[in-house]
Amino acid sequence: MFGQKDANDPAGTYEKTLVEAFMAKYPDIKVNLETIDFTNGPEKLIAAIEGGNAPDVLFDAPGRIVEYGKNGKLVSLNDMFTDELKADIGNEGLIAACGDDENYWMYPISSSPFFMVINKEVFEEADALQYVNLEGDRTWTTENFVKALEALNKAGKLTGSVYCMNQGGDQGTRALINNLYGGKMANAELTKYTVDSPENRQALELVKKLIDDKVLEFGPEINAGGEIELFQSKTLSMSICWGTSAAKNFPTEFTQVWLPFPSNDGTPELEYLINGFCVFDNKDDARAKAAKLFVQFLCDSEEVGKANVLATGAFPVRQSFGNLYEGNADYELLTAFTKYYGPYYNTMNGFANMRVQWWTMLQAYLSGEKTLDDALATFQAEANKDL
Amino acid sequence: MQKSMTREQRNMRSPYMIIMTVLLILVSLFFIFPFYWIITGSFKSTAELNIIPPHWFPMEPTTMHYERLFVEPSFQWLLNSFIMSLISMILVCIVASMAGYVLAKKRFPGRVAIFSLLVAAMALPRQAILIPLVRIMNTLGLHDSLWAVILPSIGWPFGLFLMKQFAEGIPGEMIEAARIDGAGEVNTFLRIVMPMLKPAFGALAIFTFIIVWNDYMMQLVMLASRAKLSIALGIATLQAEFGTNYGLIMAGATMGSVPIVLIFVLFQKYFTQGIALGAVKG
Amino acid sequence: MSSITYGKHLFARSRKIQRQQTRVAYLFLLPALLFFFGFVVFPMGMGIYTSFFNYTMRDFDFVGFANYAELFRDATFGRSVVNTMIIAVASVPLVMLFSLWVATVIYQKPVMSRSFYRGVFYLPVVMGSVPVVVVWKWIFNRYYGILNWVTQTLGITQANINWLGDARYAIWCILAILFTTSIGQPIVLYVASLGNVDASQIEASEVDGASKWQTFRHVKWPSLLPTTLYVAVITTINSFQCFALIQLLTSGGPNGSTSTVMYYLYDTAFRIYRYGYANAMGVVLAIIIAAFSAFQFRVMRTDD
């Protein structure tokens, strides 16, 4: 059984052809394909895992996969992480993200940065485009970001939204807030969440002020999905949760300008997504072996591997795959963004809980229900509770 | 009789009644509006959906949202909802009428104990057993299958009460007479009891059908893969994925609500009876 | 009386027939009992049992009453209980008064229009919670929802209000939707029981020169009392089980202002994976609802 959580392709036709190709190559292995819906995917999967009906192979991100691994639900992939693979990836942070101290749980195939996007025409109309850097890597400063927001606001445009209904797409709000003044989510050792820092405080205070001045929208009733829709329908002038799959699924009538997050020193740290596969431990060695074979078939072979990377609309983790997007200016920009990848904290202990605490904190502080001190104190205590 | 008619007619024409009727019509509009808004919304273009002031009626009707909806396995979702409701309906009717009949008409050891247990269970919220039910379905290998929604719906003793209630009204002499004629237990049940329970079947059938159709929570925890979703769950999924794409979501909501509303309209008589019957003893 | 004669009758029969009758009865009961024990009693037992465990994806350790003790300290649970209570306390009188009013207006109407109105007020129930919630979500939308347009056109509000994103309004929005889905059944019940009121008593009262209100108060109301209690109980129970609305509309926010026990239970089990703790919540919820139902049975019995 091959589960995957990205349901953008409603019928799963592409996956079907993959499965057929694999079965043609290995006729003695039978693969059933199942598409799990995006929003409730994790919960459904938990139910299946809990009842011992987990799929054999699942396509997902490291955050949840490593959590399953730590909980003893997966087969260790240490044997698949050969020196050849590690050398080919050549990015310590990315490799570390695929497992915990002892085991690798996820076999990575592609990665993709999260960034922000603006509506170029609206920015032009509001005379705000002057604050945006359209050169080189397009990095820009917090100061110019605020100026752009104010210009948009003056022109009667809604700017962006700090959405926080639940954890959906919360990396966008974290990236925005962390970057404004160079704050960090966690310490360098990735053992403790450190949101209560002077940098983050300054950033949160700025965001609160912008919201109170109605220069920025506060969205406790929407998550990233809603924010992206509002951007697509031209209600908002920017989205802070943009990525290659959003770009693919939400085509716009206006010109998109992809940007890194603004930062005070002009050097952003971007969040990124790693895509990969894990193998569930269904207490059957033969099945696990077949599953690993299937994963390797999907990721490593020159032809299928590259096609799969392209299908995810992301960038290969294997450098040997080269530049798959020659001549695509947007994607070459994103390739440039990969050098701004920040530390990957999504596999830290208590990550799932931290996400709950994050939007809870945003709601509490930005709605004015709690002071910054109280909101951050609760966040620090709760998020670090089990560490 | 004559007198009471005139009293009612007098009542109907009193200024009080006229004011109340006008108020009632206004309130009714409020209740009909969401349904109206769903259907008209599904035919509005995306631009028209976001217009303020809103258009009360689609000026340039479009089927674009339905075209998008049909890319999803939406007919399968509809079919799944039908299958689940229909099977539950049939099984509940069979199981409940058999049990209701003996509880009403037979005296046997353990009858009181069983009945008390059923009464006690009626008071429990179904949701309290949600997690164990998921676990049980997993163990049975039924996770992500329509049976995972169907089976628990049959366990619920509501239908049994309704049937018992009704079966108590069957004259004992009729059953005796059948026995004297030499009819076996099964024959008596099929030929004498079941026809007598006909009105109760109507009520229970439509009740079960609508309840299972709308049992979002159970569907949510039991069904997972895209092709197995119910129509309600399908709409919820679309809303989660396409947030404010109201045209698409309203198209889904139209598909999910129009069939069940039609069924309700056709069988409203039984439905109303069911509620009134259920009320007598809860 | 009839059961006594029946008993004597039974006594007169031979033992063999009696045994056979018992067997037949149990055979007829078998399917129902199978489903009932398999999908109600057994899971209930399982829920109670596992509520004493620290039961997660990884662990299954006996912890005694620790989950229950934690419930009392859990601020979100407390908030969810309070919200649940608010919803119940606000909706019961609202639903009762409104449905009674509708019923008194429609019960004398011709059959056709009576069933039309009954259908109208039943519509939100029949449509199902998901279509109802998604359309309301659109109506409440702060940017394109019709509600903001209506309130601004009527001059009630000046700027767009974030109905679902503001803790001051969100729970009332939930309540409004819940209200529309709670009215159908009570109206049918009231219409039925108004039809049972003895017409001659009403006339006698009117002949005596009693006002409309007096007639209602002294003649109709006493016979409506059992129905009213029943309506109160089912509305309370419905409010306690309010889930789809929350899950689809607000995810319990903002600031936990719309979290209910049922929603929190779901969230705890399927997002944070604490099954034991969630089951403890389920048990508490079951006890509360069972207490309400017991209260109902008791009141109705003394009333008979």
Which of C253, C271, C275 is facing A220, going by the closest CB pair?
A: C253
Quote the DSSP letter at residue A78. G
pLDDT-derived band at A43, boundaries 50, 70, 90: low
Top-level CATH class of A2-113+273-333?
Answer: alpha beta
A226 touches chain B (CB under 8 A): yes
Q: How far apart are CA B268 and CA B202, in angstroms?
A: 10
CA atoms of C260 and C247, how far apart (whole Å):
10
The string of pLDDT tens digits covering residues A323-346 is 788 788 888 888 888 778 888 888
Give B157's contacts in chain C (Cβ within 8 Å): 32, 36, 40
Question: A116 pLDDT exceeds 70?
Answer: yes
Q: A222 to chain B: which residues are within 8 Å by CB?
A: 243
Helices (H) and strands (E) in chain A, counts: 16, 11
Chain B CB contacts of A49 under 8 Å are none
State yes or no: pLDDT of B153 exceeds 50. yes
Query: Which of the four pLDDT bands, split at 50, 70 and 90, describes residue B108?
Result: confident
CA atoms within 13 A of residue C138's CA, in its CB half-sphere:
28
Q: Quickly state the pLDDT bin for C217 (edges 50, 70, 90).
A: confident
Q: Looking at beta carbons, which residues of chain C come within 8 Å of A73?
A: 57
CB contact under 8 A, A73 and C251: no
Name all domains of chain C by residue range, CATH numbers in brackets. Answer: 1-36 (no CATH), 73-303 (1.10.3720.10)
| ipTM surpasses cut 0.95 | no
Residues of chain C contacting residue B239, judged by C-beta atoms under 8 Å apart: 134, 137, 248
Which chain C residues in 224-283 lie under 8 Å from chain B, judged by CB atoms?
227, 230, 233, 237, 240-241, 243-244, 247-248, 262, 265-266, 269-270, 275, 278-279, 282-283
**Average pLDDT across chain A, whole number:** 86
**Tokens found for residue A24:** 């043609």
Q: Do B138 and A50 touch (CB under 8 A)?
A: yes
Instruction: Report the pLDDT value the prediction gives residue A262, as an integer from 0 to 100.
Output: 95
Give kind and range of the element (H or E) at residue A111.
Answer: strand A107-113
What local confidence, expressed as pLDDT, does residue C274 receive?
A: 87
- Is C272 in contact with A352 (Cβ distance < 8 A)? yes
Q: Is A266 on the interface with B (CB under 8 A)?
A: no
* Span A62-77, average pLDDT: 86
Residue C181 is inside which H or E element, if any? none
Q: Which fold has domain A115-269+349-383?
A: D-Maltodextrin-Binding Protein; domain 2 (3.40.190)
Most confident of A262-266, A343-347, B84-88, C168-172: B84-88
Q: Is A190 left (phi over 0), alpha (psi -120 to 50) or beta?
A: left
Which residues, in sequence order, are CB contacts of B66 under 8 Å at separation 6+? B42, B251
pLDDT, residue B280, reads 44
What pLDDT does residue C8 have? 52
For residue A230, which residues of chain C lie inside 8 Å, CB to CB?
Answer: 143
Q: Which B positions 30-89 lie with beta carbon below 8 A of chain C?
A: 30-32, 34-35, 37-38, 41, 49-54
Q: Does A95 touch chain B (CB under 8 A)?
A: no
pLDDT tier at C2, thresholds 50, 70, 90: very low
- pLDDT score, position B1: 42
Q: Which pLDDT score, from 0 to 100, does residue A384 have?
A: 92
Q: Are the beta carbons of C284 and C71 closer than 8 angstroms? A: yes
On whether any CB of chain B is under 8 Å from the CB of C119, the answer is yes
Contact of A10 with A41, CB cutoff 8 Å? no
Lowest mean pLDDT across A5-14, A161-170, C15-24, C133-142: A5-14
Residue A315's nearest CA partner among A344, A347, A338, A346 is A338
For A221, the closest of C165, C270, C273 (CB atoms) is: C165
Q: Which helix or strand (DSSP H or E) is residue B74 part of?
A: helix B74-105
Q: Which of A220, A230, A356 sits opposite C254 (nearest CB)?
A: A220
Q: How far is CA A280 from CA A60, A75, B141, C10, in A?
A: 12, 6, 17, 62
Asked if A37 lies within 8 A of B242 by C-beta distance, the reply is: no
Please give the residue of chain A at the shortest CA–CA distance from C167. A367
Pairing mode of beta strands A2-4, A33-35: parallel
CB contacts of C46 in chain A (<8 Å) are none
Shortest CA gap B238–chain A (Å): 9
CB contact under 8 A, A221 and C253: yes
Its sign, for the CA torsion A22, A27, A28, A34, is positive
Average pLDDT over residues B46-63: 87
DSSP state of A341: B
By Cβ distance, the residue of C166, C270, C275 closest to A43 is C270
Chains that contact C by 3+ CB pairs under 8 Å?
Answer: A, B
C235 class by beta-carbon count within 10 Å (0-12 exposed, 13-18 middle, 19+ buried): buried
The phi and psi torsions of A332 (rounded to 5 degrees) equal -70, -35
Q: How far apart are CA C135 and CA C138, in angstroms?
A: 5
Q: Which residues of C touch B274 (CB under 8 A)?
A: none
- Length of chain B measured in residues: 282
- Phi and psi, residue A256, nearest 5°: -90, 140
pLDDT number for residue B240: 80
**Do the beta carbons of residue A363 and residue C255 sit within 8 Å?**
yes
pLDDT of residue A38: 45
Between residues C47 and A283, the one the model is more confident about: C47
Q: Quick check: A32 contacting B, CB < 8 Å? A: no
CB contact burial C88-109 (16+ within 10 A = b; e otherwise) = bebbbebbbebbbbbbbbbbbb
For residue A56 the two structure tokens come to: 């054999």
In the block, tokens 């309906």 appear at B89
- Cβ contacts of B164 within 8 Å, gap of 6 or more: B99, B100, B101, B103, B104
C73 touches chain A (CB under 8 A): no
Provide the CATH number for the domain formed by B74-235+258-281 in this structure.
Answer: 1.10.3720.10
DSSP 3-state of A112: strand
CB pairs under 8 A between A and B: 81
C139 touches chain A (CB under 8 A): no
Q: What is the pLDDT of residue B10?
A: 56
Size of interface A-C (CB pairs under 8 A): 65
Instruction: Calculate mean pLDDT across residues B50-63.
Output: 88
Instruction: For B138, name the nearest residue in chain A, comparing CA atoms only.
Output: A51
B142 to chain A: closest CA residue: A53
Length of chain A: 387
Backbone phi, psi, residue A265, to 5°: -100, 5
Count interface pairs B-C at CB distance under 8 A.
Answer: 284
pLDDT exceeds 80 at position A383: yes
In the chain, the amino acid numbered B261 is V
With CA atoms as reference, the chain B residue closest to A5 would be: B225
pLDDT at A5: 39
State mean pLDDT over C120-136.
93
Domain boundaries, chain A: 2-113+273-333, 115-269+349-383
Q: Which of A68-82, A236-250, C14-28 is least confident?
A: C14-28
| DSSP code for B190 | I
pLDDT for res C3: 45
Q: Which of C245, C240, C244, C216 is nearest to C228 (CA)?
A: C216
pLDDT tens digits, A275-323? 899 998 888 888 888 889 888 888 887 788 888 888 777 888 888 887 7
Instruction: Out of A72, A158, A218, name the one closest to residue C58 (CB).
Output: A72
> How large is the average pLDDT for residues B197-202?
86
Task: Report CB contact under 8 Å: A229, B242.
Answer: yes
B15 cis-preceded (ω within 30 degrees of 0): no
Please, are residues B251 and B42 in contact by the beta-carbon 8 Å criterion?
Answer: yes
Q: Band of the pLDDT at A12, cuts 50, 70, 90?
A: low
**DSSP H stretches of helix in chain A:** 13-25, 41-50, 62-70, 83-89, 92-96, 120-125, 142-154, 171-180, 198-212, 224-232, 244-249, 285-299, 302-312, 329-337, 351-366, 372-383
The first and second tokens of residue B112, run together, are 């009181």
**Are the C-beta atoms of A260 and A242 separated by less than 8 Å?**
no
The residues with which A259 forms a beta bridge, in sequence order, are A116
Q: Which tokens go with B168?
A: 């108590």
Please report the DSSP string for C52-113 in residue order.
Answer: TEEESSS-EEE-TTHHHHHHHH-HHHHHHHHHHHHHHHHHHHHHHHHHHHHHHHHTTS-HHH
Token duo for residue A351:
């990550």
d(CA C269, CA C277): 8
How distant is the alpha carbon of residue A361 from its chain centre?
20
| Cβ-contact C42, B152 below 8 angstroms | no
The helices-and-strands tally (H runs, E runs) of chain B is 17, 0
pLDDT tier, A22 (very low <50, low <70, confident <90, very high otherwise):
confident
Element (H, E) at A315: strand A315-316
pLDDT at residue A371 greater than cutoff 90: yes
Residues of B in contact with A36 (CB under 8 A): 224-226
pLDDT of residue A323: 79
Per-residue pLDDT tens over the stretch C266-290: 988 887 788 899 999 999 988 888 7
Rounding to the nearest 10 degrees, give the CA dihedral for residues C173, C179, C181, C185: 170
The three-class DSSP label of residue A3 is strand
Domain map of chain B by residue range? 74-235+258-281
Compare CB distances from A40 to B50, B141, B220 and report the shortest one's residue: B220
CB atoms under 10 Å from CB of A299, counted, come to 23
C97: tokens are 């008064």
Mark yes or no for CB contact B155/C118 under 8 Å. Answer: no
Which residues in chain A are closer than 8 Å to B229, comparing Cβ atoms? 37
User: Is A9 an interface residue toward B (CB < 8 Å)?
Assistant: no
The region of weakest confidence among A177-191, A248-262, B125-139, C8-22 is: C8-22
Compute the average pLDDT of residues C70-98: 90
**Per-residue pLDDT at A8:** 41
**What confidence tier does C4 reach under pLDDT thresholds 50, 70, 90?**
very low
Q: How far is A175 from chain B (nearest CA, A)?
A: 22
- Nearest C-alpha of chain A: how many angstroms from C289? 26
Q: How does strand A57-60 pair with strand A272-279?
A: antiparallel
The Cα B251–Cα B228 span in angstroms is 19
Which of C142, C144, C270 is facing A46, going by the closest CB pair? C270
Residue recorded with tokens 């009954």? C118
